[in-house]
Amino acid sequence: MSQDKHNFAKQNIADWEKAAAKSAPGGDLNKLNWVTPDGITVKPLYTAQDTASLPYTDTLPGFAPFLRGPQASMYAVRPWTIRQYAGFSTAEESNAFYRKALAAGGQGVSVAFDLATHRGYDSDHPRVTGDVGKAGVAIDSVEDMKILFDQIPLDKVSVSMTMNGAVLPVLAGYVVAAEEQGVSQDQLSGTIQNDILKEFMVRNTYIFPPEPSMRIVGDIIAYTAGHMPKFNSISISGYHMQEAGANQALELALTLADGQEYVRTAMKQGLDVDAFAPRLSFFWAIGMNFYLEIAKMRAARLLWCRIMQDVGAKNPKSLMLRTHCQTSGWSLTEQDPYNNIVRTTIEAMAAVFGGTQSLHTNSFDEAIALPTEFSSRIARNTQLIIQEETHITHVIDPWAGSYMMEKLTQDMADEAWKIIEEVNAMGGMTKAVGSGWAKLKIEAAAADKQARIDSGQDVIVGVNKYKLQTQDAVDVRDIDNVKVRDSQIERLHRIKASRDNAAVAKAVEALTQAAQDGSGNLLDLSIQAVRLRATVGEISDALEKVFGRHRADTQKISGVYAAAYDAGENEGDTMEYWNALKADIAAFAQKQGRRPRVMISKLGQDGHDRGAKVVATAFADLGYDVDIGPLFQTPEECARQAIENDVHAVGVSTLAAGHKTLVPAIIAELKKQGADDIIVFVGGVIPRQDYDFLYQAGVKGIYGPGTPIPVSARDVLEQITKALV
């Protein structure tokens, strides 16, 4: 820049500062800055000075470090793949949904499995009575998988499968279903998530402990590298971290650190990094933090290139980060739900501007129940309209050169890299996950976010501002869990009656032996067992004999939720309400000789515990004594623990639609065990048409998405007080 031009720019900035200071609170320009939850300062104005020293602003798409996109032409030649993440009830119903979606413009299949399948249980297992077919499709054997993909040509349609715990039998079932469709393994394209480290942090659909789980990851990478060259062996997922509460920098850092750990694991098995790294893919959540989501995706490519160069990768395809994205499910609201269409559109735009390779857009009703065909069509058409009507696809990385975006990208990369270095100092992500450090970081971020919403610092339109007086009813999809489970059990019985059981037993024993002595490839052996009609549960049980079934420690954070109130940033009603509630809880303790005691529980196989952990934290900060039940309890186990801990109330957190089966069961168990004085309340994703059913079953309080936690805490206190009279 010439001296005259430099002086001119300097004078312009000085003039702007004077003008802006007139409207800034107290004349302080710093008050115009926004400090994000990631700790990044976003200024109201960026200039050339902010990007002058940045190293990668003049790079091109398709070339390292891939800041501007992994392909040279990006969407100008081929737009992103439109995926529809779906699965519910039986394989027959899900298959019909997929075929309609493909006919209506969908370009790939993305499978959601039910929680029984995720956790490696067949549908006839007693621990999954409320979970079969509810939050995804039930898969027990290759026969289900064949129905799932009936009339869907697997040599032409790519398939993405969100599966981590029971990844071996599910991937094996897909391979064998394709074989019996006449499609060879080398023709298959798509992705298996196979990201187990993330499960231990947030989603909790694990089966085995971390170390044997990492062996499974390595075996899948090795097998697919040799037999399935067009198939992505792992989708390293940040999505569920953000859904569980992580901010963008934390999601970015922990996801890349997971990827780094998987690469190291595969290399320890003797694999050449360039033999498998080109088939690694990533999966990001895209929330309502528009600018930071775009910056996150650009920074992700920059950092992944650095990580792969550090491990010695040479192939350019090993250095480029390719990703799928999904709009946020957590940002969807039960209140005024048609607002969710706007939220999803904004999030989809951020994913596209960030350079995603495929995208799923959530349906507006997913804060209430599984999406209907009507809501799914709107979600799919959102992407079609962006692709076909806006002309956005004609320009590669349209934010390139933006002073703000280039600086935010570097700031995001710097923040994430600090966290990655912290993880590496611990010995890598397996150690960081095993210590509980990573999980607690995410839970602290979740508690802080919820407190900011409940206290009104963060606005959610229709929830804590611009609220409707009455809510219109929305038609939702309802799954008859009993009917689905009965049909799955019937098919299981037919399979076991018609197969060669001796051959199955031999194949399953081979898996146990390989797990014991470290020999063989576990995916290869699983494929052999599935060909013989071994079930998901039988293969999982065979490995569990050696590996065991992982049980997580239950921890809770304290003080984070209260900090948003105690920091003095809240004025008026919210602060008064908070202080009055704390005083009433203290008065209860004074009168009763002990504090009100609640147990927060998760029943069935639903491992989504963000809500449970945030509620437990907030209740404890208010003055409750809080116990947290372990994940995956049966109603009988939950009732027993509640009685042993002498609690006043049990709070059931539900996200996976099992409430109509499991909540009445816990009430019945408390009565059966002589403790019907313990009240039961429920929070989470519950359609309003189910409220009367739950109240008639004996529930004392129902708190849907968007309910401020202090409001639910006061209601629980009042219900406990009534029960003691």
Catalytic residues: 85, 239-240, 602, 606, 608
Tokens of 90: 């039986």
- CA–CA distance, 209 with 615 (Å, rounded to integer): 27
Give the type of residue at 705. P
Q: At what angle do helices 403-426 and 248-268 cross, to 10 degrees?
A: 50
- CA–CA distance, 358 with 347 (Å, rounded to integer): 13
Tokens of 93: 């119903």
Compute the Cα dihedral for 99, 104, 109, 114 and give only its sign: negative
Helical spans, DSSP H, in 196-336: 196-198, 210-227, 239-243, 248-268, 273-276, 290-310, 316-319
Residue with tokens 């003797």: 270
Asked if residue 259 lies in contact with residue 199, where contact means CB atoms within 8 angstroms, the answer is no
Asked if residue 432 lies in contact with residue 425, where contact means CB atoms within 8 angstroms, the answer is no
Q: What share of the chain is helix, strand, coil (3-state, %, to 5)?
A: 55, 10, 35
Residue with tokens 């290399």: 267
Phi, psi of 567 (to 5 degrees): -70, -10
- CA–CA distance, 601 with 640 (Å, rounded to integer): 12
Q: Distances from the Cα of 513 to the Cαs of 119, 122, 181, 317, 704, in angstroms?
A: 21, 22, 31, 37, 47
- DSSP assignment of 434-495 equals HTTHHHHHHHHHHHHHHHHHHTTSS--BTTTBS--SSPPP---B---HHHHHHHHHHHHHHH
Tokens of 80: 């992103």
Neighbours of 606 (CB within 10 A): 27
How far does CA 470 lie from the centroid of its chain? 31
Q: Distances from the Cα of 350 to the Cαs of 288, 343, 507, in angstroms?
A: 9, 11, 48
Phi, psi of 679 (to 5 degrees): -85, 155
Q: Distances from the Cα of 457 to the Cαs of 190, 407, 443, 450, 465, in angstroms?
A: 42, 26, 19, 10, 11
Tokens of 386: 């962006």
Neighbours of 452 (CB within 10 A): 18
- CA–CA distance, 173 with 196 (Å, rounded to integer): 19
Phi, psi of 465 (to 5 degrees): -160, 145
* Cis ω before 65 (30° cut-off from 0): yes
